[in-house]
Structure 1
Amino acid sequence: MNTNHHQTPGQSRFRRVRRVLPLALTGLAATLLTGCQQVRQSLTIGDLSSGYNREIFWMSVWAIALSIIIFIGVSYALFYTVNKFREDKHDAPPAQFHGNNRLEVILVVVPVIIVVFLSVLTVRSMARLNPNINADTQNINVLARQFWWNFSYPEAAAAAGGVVSNGNEMIMPTRQKVALTITSGDVIHGFWAPNIGGQRAALPAVKKTWQVDIDRAGAYQGNCSQLCGASHANMRYKVVALDQDRYNTFVTAASAYRAPEPAPGSAEARGYTLFMQGKTETGALACAACHRVQGTPAAGAAGPDLSFFGTRRTLGAGMWEAMTAEHWEAADAKVRLHEWIKHSPLVKPGSLMPTYDGSEYRVNGKVQKGGVLTDAEIDDVAAYLRTLQLPEEADYWKGTQIQGAPQGGTQ
């Protein structure tokens, strides 16, 4: 006897959808969390190591509990009424209760009490999460631009001039309130590192201050949460939370930091010259026109601060991460850095960094012609960048737990 059943076209399509749907939903979730780009570290929502998240969690517990009570109460009243006054049990028309003052008072007073109660909880949480800034609070200024971040420390004066700052990696202490003053240099961006707090808008020409904190040391993922252009999904950053002693060591070393002087005739020295002066005969612009390197004439503000580039573990605002033991000395990391310097707009759409392979790029809608550096010259610039390192004791990545990474581990 033949037990095979022929499937209709509709049944066949249904089976295919049923097989594909779970995979599609998984892909969608990954896309929403990572911004259409595979990353080594995921966002973590609801981390109770943060005072902000703890406050929101307990306020949410009350709201969810009341929602459940209301749902159960309304459901009980509905099923009770439907069952008691079923048509097959009652032939007479139902009694009217218009003018039942007691019922009307209950229907008004109970929701008002619930709304007032939740309002009080909300106002209390807002007061706790936005307290007055005091002398013990660590201040960090956050600048968002297409498509990168810069973090500066107004209370940490640099011996070489200006203040300590770092591009795309924010260093903060644990178990201490940190006041973030956030602004934007172009369009609206969104500052969001879920482990340390909620989303905050970075607005052009507006500075807003809010507080964050976290009890657990580690490296956390941050993303831009406001659609801001072609590389919105590539506008990431890291938050590295250090215990107080390590944080103090970082601030002290960063304040005293001066970029090392390359040995004469070395690849680093040739890269330093190109970084500071460019190459006028081929139209290659100087990197120093847009970037700052502490302790050198480079004082540009159009790009992220590169003073500690060799210590950093991210490139292109977190597009790539050098998390191996060799860091920027690893072969694949060198390739990434070379490609980034050579043609940044190609590897990161919308990047305003000039090209160094002679190709065209756009700045504010205008087509610009890039200069030319040879591959050897680009490698020289990369070699110089890799020398820009903090002292080993101030390396904030060393021994730091990577929170949210698939394999975990420390650096």
Structure 2
Amino acid sequence: MGLLPFRPESSTGKPSAVNSSKPKGRRSSLKNRLVLFGLMAALFLFAIGCSKEGQSTWEAFGPVAQKQLDLFNVLLWVMVAVFIIVEGVLLYAIIRYRRRPGDEKPPQIHGNTSLEIVLTIIPTILVLALGIWSVFTLFEIDKPPKGGPEPLHVIVTGHQWWFEFEYPDAGNGKHIITANDLRIPVDRPITLSLESDDVIHSFWVPKLAGKLDMVPTHINEMWFQADSDKIDDALTCVFVWTVR
């Protein structure tokens, strides 16, 4: 069933159709809402970086974090170089060989053995080199180096909604348990046994080491070392606890 609104008969005796186009006011309202949403999103993104101390993996305060950062920087710049080369060749081909008025269909060529060999060998060498470097780095930071200070062992247990830090041998025969406050010495390796009492948690000190999950009925091991005391916070990816 169709509906065509009309106004009462005009002086000529003929009905005049109503303009059924969208009111401009409705479109303006939608535009204003989109602008407001964009401003709110920008304000939210701006507020993300307003912490007193940024949690950034670009600042390494320990040997584990430094090794990870070195590997990340190499991978990043290699990927940037590959992206620039590939996109540069693509743009060159698009512009240089674009179709022009009067062009005839060129001869069709299928396959180029030499080019295919080069494009296979170079990525293979690149991936192998980066893979070998990654594996060596992972093995290098898997355990604390031998010959250094005796590591301090800490048992970390995740609870809802707090973290338990247990020092089975804190020195002088002391056995210490703290809540949400991990205190570690500078320039001494720290080995951690990570476990969970309820759900999966995530343990992460961005400036000292990578993130590792804490899984119920399973113990994960990691270690790090702080070369500086300028570290105030660590992340669990859910809430924040302090480390000094």
Read off the aligned partner of 1:239 and give its amino acid letter.
V
Seen in structure 2, the aligned counterparts of structure 1 residues 107 and 140 have a Cα distance that, compared at 3 Å, is same
Which of 137, 140, 152 aligns to 2:166? It is: 152
* In structure 2, C-alpha distance between the alignment counterparts of 1:133 and 1:204, rounded to whole Å: 29
CA RMSD of aligned residues (A): 2.9
1:271-350 matched pairs, under 5 angstroms:
none
* 1:265-285 CA-partner distances (Å, limit 9, x unpaired): xxxxxxxxxxxxxxxxxxxxx
**Post-superposition shift, 1:172?**
0.6
Contact 1:140 1:180 in 2 (8 A): yes
Alignment correspondent of 1:70: 82
* In structure 2, C-alpha distance between the alignment counterparts of 1:204 and 1:15, rounded to whole Å: 49
Seen in structure 2, the aligned counterparts of structure 1 residues 107 and 15 have a Cα distance that, compared at 3 Å, is same
Alignment correspondent of 1:331: none
Alignment correspondent of 1:44: 55
**Post-superposition shift, 1:217?**
0.7
Which of 228, 235, 242 aligns to 1:238? It is: 242
Q: Alignment partner of 2:199: what SS?
A: coil
Q: Which of structures 1 and 2 has the larger relative contact order (alpha carbons within 8 angstroms, sep 6+)?
A: 2
Seen in structure 2, the aligned counterparts of structure 1 residues 130 and 90 have a Cα distance that, compared at 3 Å, is farther
Contact 2:157 2:163 in 1 (8 A): yes
**Post-superposition shift, 1:124?**
2.2
**Post-superposition shift, 1:202?**
0.9
* In structure 1, C-alpha distance between the alignment counterparts of 2:231 and 2:56, rounded to whole Å: 15
Seen in structure 2, the aligned counterparts of structure 1 residues 23 and 50 have a Cα distance that, compared at 3 Å, is farther
Seen in structure 2, the aligned counterparts of structure 1 residues 145 and 30 have a Cα distance that, compared at 3 Å, is farther
- Of stretches 129-138 and 190-199 in structure 1, the one that deviates more from structure 2 is 129-138
* In structure 2, C-alpha distance between the alignment counterparts of 1:157 and 1:176, rounded to whole Å: 14
**Post-superposition shift, 1:16?**
4.1
Q: Alignment partner of 2:105: what SS?
A: coil
Alignment correspondent of 2:43: 26
Which of 180, 200, 206 aligns to 1:188? It is: 200
Alignment correspondent of 2:186: 174
Name segments (4+ residues, structure 1) moved above 4 Å: 28-31, 40-43, 132-135
Seen in structure 2, the aligned counterparts of structure 1 residues 24 and 100 have a Cα distance that, compared at 3 Å, is closer
* 1:274-316 CA-partner distances (Å, limit 9, x unpaired): xxxxxxxxxxxxxxxxxxxxxxxxxxxxxxxxxxxxxxxxxxx
Alignment correspondent of 1:114: 126
Contact 2:144 2:223 in 1 (8 A): no
Seen in structure 2, the aligned counterparts of structure 1 residues 90 and 178 have a Cα distance that, compared at 3 Å, is farther
TM-score, length of structure 1 as denominator length: 0.47
**Post-superposition shift, 1:236?**
3.1
**Post-superposition shift, 1:114?**
1.9
* In structure 1, C-alpha distance between the alignment counterparts of 2:30 and 2:111, rounded to whole Å: 57
* In structure 2, C-alpha distance between the alignment counterparts of 1:14 and 1:171, rounded to whole Å: 53
* In structure 2, C-alpha distance between the alignment counterparts of 1:205 and 1:164, rounded to whole Å: 23
Alignment correspondent of 2:155: 141
Matched, 1:14 2:15: no
Q: Which runs of no fewer than 5 residues in structure 1 stay unpaired?
A: 1-6, 35-39, 226-232, 241-411
Seen in structure 2, the aligned counterparts of structure 1 residues 103 and 172 have a Cα distance that, compared at 3 Å, is same
Contact 1:195 1:220 in 2 (8 A): no
1:261-276 matched pairs, under 5 angstroms:
none
Q: How many residues align?
A: 219
Greater Rg, structure 1 or structure 2? Answer: 2
Read off the aligned partner of 1:45 and give its amino acid letter.
S
Q: Alignment partner of 1:122: what SS?
A: helix
TM-score, length of structure 2 as denominator length: 0.76
Contact 2:154 2:193 in 1 (8 A): yes
Seen in structure 2, the aligned counterparts of structure 1 residues 125 and 95 have a Cα distance that, compared at 3 Å, is farther
Contact 2:62 2:225 in 1 (8 A): yes
Q: Alignment partner of 1:87: what SS?
A: coil
* 1:343-380 CA-partner distances (Å, limit 9, x unpaired): xxxxxxxxxxxxxxxxxxxxxxxxxxxxxxxxxxxxxx
Q: Alignment partner of 1:123: what SS?
A: helix
* 1:153-204 CA-partner distances (Å, limit 9, x unpaired): 2222675xx7122111001111222111111122211112222222111111
* In structure 2, C-alpha distance between the alignment counterparts of 1:152 and 1:80, rounded to whole Å: 61
Seen in structure 2, the aligned counterparts of structure 1 residues 30 and 193 have a Cα distance that, compared at 3 Å, is farther
* In structure 2, C-alpha distance between the alignment counterparts of 1:126 and 1:140, rounded to whole Å: 22
* In structure 2, C-alpha distance between the alignment counterparts of 1:71 and 1:157, rounded to whole Å: 53
Q: Which runs of no fewer than 5 residues in structure 2 stay unpaired?
A: 1-23
